[in-house]
Structure 1
Amino acid sequence: MRFVASALKLLFVTTLLRIVLVALTAVFALVVTPAAAPATAGGCTVDPATPKRQLRGMWISSVANIDWPSRTGLSASAQQAELRAWLDLAVQRRMNAVFVQVRPTADTFWPSSLEPWSQWLTGAQGGDPGYDPLAFMVSEAHARNLELHAWFNPYRIANHDDPSRLQASHPARRNPSWRFAYDGKLYYNPGLPVVRDFIQDVIMDAVTRYDLDGVHLDDYFYPYPAAGQTIPDAAAYAAHGAGFANVHDWRRENVNLLVRELDQRIHTAKPWVSFGVSPFGIWRNAGTDPLGSRTSGLQSYDAIYADTRLWVKQGWVDYIAPQLYWYIGYGPADYEVLTAWWAGVARDTGVQLLIGQAAYRAGASGQDPAWQDRAELSDHLYVNRRHPEVAGDIFFSARDVKADRINSFSTLANAHYTKPALLPARGTSAAPAAPAITSATRGSGGVALAWQGGGATSYAVHRVTGTPAAADPCTFADARNLLTTTRKTTFTDASATAGTAYTYYVTALNRTHQESPPSAGKAVPAGSGGGFSVVIDNADPGFTAGSGWGTSAFSGQLHGADYRFAEPVSASDPAWFRAGIPSAGGYRVEVWHPADAGYNSAAPYIVAADGGNRTITVDQRTGGGQWRSLGDFTLAAGTYNVVGVSRWTSTSGYVIADAIRITRL
């Protein structure tokens, strides 16, 4: 899946270049700017930068160990640690869904009686990894309130054409008539009804046995065309092609049947499971078909027999996620042109439109200069705002989201993902009843909430400043007041300021994300201390650091525009945060830092407390992008260096200085 710069995809890319790059059309790129004014919904003014509902996901690829596992042969615990890190990345980036490849080459990431264990787990097809990866990923995703969409490649058997390399018990080896070789690879023959039934049985094995949120197919249907080669399915056409004028219509119908029948089987077994496809981004060009897009690239309808427009119009999928991996203004396939075209296709169908985004291209070497603009991906989401049919985005792939080359993803997140978002609702099931907040207690770690709400899958926690007599319906119109979503019935608001009064509300959501009315508000009065709270960023005048401290904006978890970093040394050389403390007394001291595996596991923070300096070490490899408490301290009145970050530590990794917050208790 996807145009990736890897050995696995090289042949696909060269094939695509032979076919896609045909005559250019003159398409003018529009200047992409944020919306000039907020929109309205239900009489409320809403901020398009903080939508209430938006799917935000990333693909986690297992084929060729692109993302996970990072290599074959890792222990079960190492594989699990890697997956947890990917899921944590999704949470840090305020995503709410992951699409994990669980059947990459006709082998599985769960113990199946139909196909062997995947070679990408242990290095040997059929090798038991020692645990159930699919069960593990469902459990871990749901613990973070992420939707888990299981990603299947339907027809691909192997990225080679030697059947003897398959496990001896592999169905494609035991049934040679089911397969064909094409362009150096092995495929199941889509024209055989027995194959179609078998592929559905494999997918349904996962659907019925695991608590999946979605079933996801990628863009590989019939093989992408290879010059000078013909798909060897003449015998299957002779046997099963009666009633079709040509082999091309027959091939399209074979794929149509797979999609339509799989849709029916999934929703018969579990109506709440979402079914979607992420196809190649062009259905047909307008030069070929007046219903097509103003593009001039490869046509999935003709090249790989994927009639994606029909699937949407017939409602055979719950969502369509075309891979729009081109930049704004690209002549053969302009992102703006294709987004508008797909929005028109999805309009009034009930099928959600998601956009597949090319995170792998942003800042990568060898890409068009347009992809060296760190705002390119962010600009795509500004385009999306013009089309209400666009329900969200999926990014390929996880490693590129993490790499964040040229700060491209950080730029996008800072413009579009500043608040959490609920997932788009599917279907028409009834919403749960409103929950009831049972307690809201201010403590040293923030405001601790608890609530009750039977029958819900997850909850959304909202906060407004002050103690209004009644909830304003506009409070819930977008995500400006949304703190988090969770599958638990407790939450601690660590961002609550001691001197500020708040009112909290909780709503309940069912499996398909219909939302209850809000709970009654629970007011929490301001704490003692007169409301004093000060934040000092590394860019503020109160910050000082020596020449050994560098400046970076690499991490998207930064506070403000950048942060400071330094190598550990056997000398303190602290970076200091200077603050004006209004009166002697108790204060909570919190710190903000980005987290990365390459940062320090025991970064020393110095607090100039009354009675002497206190040193607290913080593991900066985790817990980034949020306020972390160093503790409560007695501070003297006056303006002085209150908090320092020392370089004197025996542990390796950069020491980070970003921001501090001091709050009167």
Structure 2
Amino acid sequence: MKQFFSIFIVFCMTFLLSTACEKKFPSGNGGVDFSSEASEEISEEPVIIDMAGYERFLKMEEKDKALSNRGFKDIGANKDYKAINYDIMKACWISQFDFSSVYYSNKKQRSESEFTKLVEQAYDNLLTLGFNTVIVQVRPNADSFYPSAYYPWSYYVLYKYGRFADYDPIRIMIDEAHERGISFHAWINPMRGMSSDNLKLIDSGYVMSEWIGTRKLYEYKNLNYLNIAYEDVRQLIINGASEIVRNYDVDGVHMDDYFYFGETPDFDNQEYRAAKLLDTSLTLQKFRYNNLNLLVSGIYSAIKAENETVLFGIAPAGNLKSMSTKYFADVGTWLSNDGYLDYIMPQIYFGMEHQTWSFPDTYERWSAITTNPNIRFMCGMSFGKAVSAYEGDGDQYAGTGKNEWIENKDVLQRSFEYAVGKDNFSGYAMFCYKYMFDPITGEENVKIAEELENCRDYMTDIIVGEVIS
């Protein structure tokens, strides 16, 4: 009897389940085809949707025409793009200061045709000096040079915060670069934000507007810095990097040295004290190291989730001592392990005769801690001190080498000679476009003429880059 009752219950449940399925998936034209062909389609890898990003997109698309025109894409939507990178990177940094007059004129965004012509001119100029890569600033102050669901349009592009662009300038810069075989790396500053006055101008749809007056933003020397002790703050920065790789055919994402800015305990003292309750041995250095390590590894993983061929690199300040005492960047961990970086590019803006941080000495110190063979080593270089020397100013921090750039016009040539001979040398980046060319007229800068002429061969003929990805 019990066995009969059990069979009866199973029969009833099966009948009810089949009836419910018929109502939800009726047969006929409106039904689901469970043929083998349809089954194959259903078994395909499911689409992953970034719901948080989509919600942010919906908040801004009606206001931002350029964002609406670009549309929303799923995670990994751009995974099939094959990044263009070279075995010897020969890059030029294009900062916000270089191109602000290119982005806007007469207090408004330049016309698309004017902007495109100036970009074409800049790239053609760089090709004459052998450059094969540009590192273009797209986020200097927790803002954006492209339509973003996370960050407001930058005043370097539109002259003023609170505005929206008529077109997408970064799309043009990427397209024009690739037409010339130039690799494009998007450059972001992770923690440095805008002034409090500018912060008040941004649209309420951006997440940072929700953080005004909270511990997640800290004002220092008239700028607000993002407090990466908070997970959602780190996630904002990570989302911004993902957004770039997902929506644009960039070949790399690049960060420089705007991390922490000295001990400034007020910045994160409450968060540090709370963390120390769980670990009494925790120092401020270890606390900040961990926060920044989580951010850097998070960005790396997010980029690779979007496109494995896109590189992630960092250009920290050349003074290695400042990494632990000022910026709190745990570069030793980054450079000895996988999962943080594809390349390191210390800013070795020093002459050959600098008393404490000469170019050769700085190169060797950074090279010694880059122990992971999967991480490429490059040099950050600059015409900045050549410009200063032309104007009669020496390097005030160089000690006995203060007048090296004034008395010699081959400092960069000798630096190239040293670096190119090293087995681990994988390229360089030169700061910056404006030091070499006028962004509007395109004319070469006479202030660096002698220094440039002496190192021109190294920049054009001797170092040849071949595509590796």
Structure 1 length normalisation: TM-score? 0.51
Give the AA of the match of 1:272.
T
Question: 2:289 aligned with 1:252, yes or no?
Answer: yes
Offset at residue 352 of structure 1 (A) = 0.7
Asked if 2 retains the 8 angstrom alpha-carbon contact of 1:57 and 1:90, the reply is no
Residues of 1 paired with 2:423 and 2:467: CA distance? Answer: 12
Which runs of structure 2 are paired with 1:145-164 in the superposition (5 Å)? 145-159=181-195, 163-164=199-200
Q: Which amino acid aligns with 2:450?
A: N
How far did residue 159 of structure 1 move? 4.8
> For the structure 1 residues 401 and 418, does the alpha-carbon distance in structure 2 shift closer, same or farther, using more than 3 Å as the test?
same
Amino acid at match of 1:59: W
Checking the alignment, whether the CA contact within 8 Å between 1:222 and 1:305 is kept in structure 2 is yes
SS in 2 for 1:418: helix
Q: Deviations over 1:364-397 (max 9, x none)?
A: 2223321232211111110102311111110111
CA shift for structure 1 position 133: 1.4
- Equivalent residue for 1:128, pick from 160, 164, 167: 164
Letter matched to residue 414 of structure 2: D
Equivalent residue number for residue 179 of structure 2: 143
The whole-number CA distance in structure 1 between the counterparts of 2:121 and 2:459 is 23
2:222 is the counterpart of 1:193: no
Aligned to 2:127: 91
Q: Which residue of 1 aligns with 2:330?
A: 307
Which sits farther off after the overlay, 356-365 or 167-176?
Answer: 167-176
The 3-state SS of whatever aligns with 2:325 is helix
Find the counterpart in structure 1 of residue 299 from structure 2: 262
Amino acid at match of 1:305: F
Deviation at 1:63, TM superposition (A): 4.9
Residues 68 and 155 of structure 1: CA distance in aligned 2, closer, same or farther (over 3 Å): farther
Change (3 A) 1:340 1:268: same
Spell out the pairing of 1:46-195 with structure 2 (5 A cutoff): 53-63=87-97, 65=99, 68-69=102-103, 73=108, 74-159=110-195, 163-176=199-212, 177=214, 178-195=216-233
Q: Which structure's relative contact order is higher, taking Cα pairs within 8 Å and 6+ residues apart? A: 2
Summarize the Cα distance change of 1:159–1:367 in structure 2 as closer, same or farther, 3 Å threshold: farther
Render the CA deviation track for 1:44-97: whole Å, top value 9, x for unaligned: xxxxxxxx9521111001158567537652333322222222211221111110
CA distance in 1, matches of 2:120, 2:104: 13
Give CA-to-partner distance per residue, 1:182-223, whole Å, 9 cap, x none: 222111111111100111011111111111100001110012
Q: Return the letter of the residue paired with 1:410.
A: E
TM-score, normalised to structure 2's length?
0.71
> For the structure 1 residues 145 and 231, does the alpha-carbon distance in structure 2 shift closer, same or farther, using more than 3 Å as the test?
farther
Q: State the match for 1:387 in structure 2.
A: 422
Residue identity in the other structure for 2:244: A
1:367 partnered with 2:394: yes
Residue 259 of structure 1: how far off its partner (Å): 0.7
CA distance in 2 between partners of 1:221 and 1:131 (Å): 31
1:4: which partner in 2? none
Q: What is the RMSD computed on CA atoms of the aligned residues?
A: 2.3
Give the Cα separation in 1 of the matches to 2:290 and 2:455: 39
1:407 aligns to 2:450 (yes or no): yes
**Could you say what secondary structure the match of 2:193 adopts?**
strand
Counterpart for residue 220 of structure 1: 258
Contact 1:362 1:377 in 2 (8 A): no
AA partner of residue 357 (structure 1): M
What is the CA–CA distance in structure 2 between the aligned matches of 1:104 and 1:275, rounded to whole Å?
Answer: 17
- Provide the C-alpha distance between the structure 2 equivalents of 1:159 and 1:328, rounded to a whole number of angstroms: 38
Contact 2:255 2:313 in 1 (8 A): yes
1:328 pairs with one of 323, 337, 352 = 352
Structure with the bigger percentage of strand: 1
Which residues of structure 2 form unaligned runs of 5+?
A: 1-85, 396-402, 438-444
Q: Distance in 1 between matches of 2:465 and 2:456?
A: 16
| Alpha-carbon distance, 1:161 to partner | 6.7
SS at match of 1:412: helix
How far, CA to CA, are the matches of 2:247 and 2:133 in structure 1?
Answer: 20
SS in 2 for 1:313: coil
Higher helix share goes to which structure?
A: 2
The CA deviation string for residues 127-163 of structure 1, in whole angstroms up to 9 with x for no partner, is: 2332111211111110000000000111111156764
Write the letter of the residue equivalent to 1:174: E
Q: Residue by residue, what CA displacement relative to the aligned partner does 1:6-58 show, whole Å, maximum 9, x if unpaired?
A: xxxxxxxxxxxxxxxxxxxxxxxxxxxxxxxxxxxxxxxxxxxxxx9521111
